Amino acid sequence: MNVTETTQPPIRVTTGTLVVMDGPPSDTDTRLSYVCTKCGAGNCKLWRLYESTETRLMCAPCSAEDQDRSIDGINAQGQYTIAWGLFQGLPTVDIGWRIPACIKADGSGYHAITNCPPEQWQWWLDLPTLPTKAKEGAT
């Protein structure tokens, strides 16, 4: 093997998180902008709207505010106990109509929560649940 050959996929570091890529990024690669669209926080779990083409990702606090939900007691896996409605008292990772934003390995979008491959789900679980800080000037 010469110096220019590699057996590893290319990698890219985004917002402090190592993301293994199985190919070069495209202009629509979701891995390049995995930050909260409301506060600008990165390197944390993000949520997206369920069954929607709307692509605004939000961190846990911004998702809770957007959905008018309490996430008191949210844990390291992004799970908390529902405090409202028919499912009150049950554990969930959904925040209202927002679900975990698990990026597809090729960066082309997000997995449905019910068919996210284990390695992508683990990537999401391994992210910090709450942001440590937001970008200055983010709205």
Q: What is the pLDDT of residues 97-127, one digit of tens each?
A: 999 999 888 777 888 888 899 999 998 999 9
Average pLDDT, the chain: 78
Strand 47-49 to strand 17-20: parallel, antiparallel, or no bridges (unpaired)? unpaired
Q: Check residue 34 and give its pLDDT.
A: 87
Within 10 A of 15 (CB to CB), how many other CB atoms are there?
A: 18
Give the whole-angstrom CA distance, residue 84 versus residue 112: 24
Q: Check residue 24 and give its pLDDT.
A: 47
Within 10 A of 40 (CB to CB), how many other CB atoms are there?
A: 18
pTM for the complete prediction? 0.74
Res. 15: pLDDT tops 70: no
Mean pLDDT of 24-33: 57
Q: Check residue 62 and give its pLDDT.
A: 98
Within 10 A of 17 (CB to CB), how many other CB atoms are there?
A: 16
Q: Check residue 59 and give its pLDDT.
A: 97
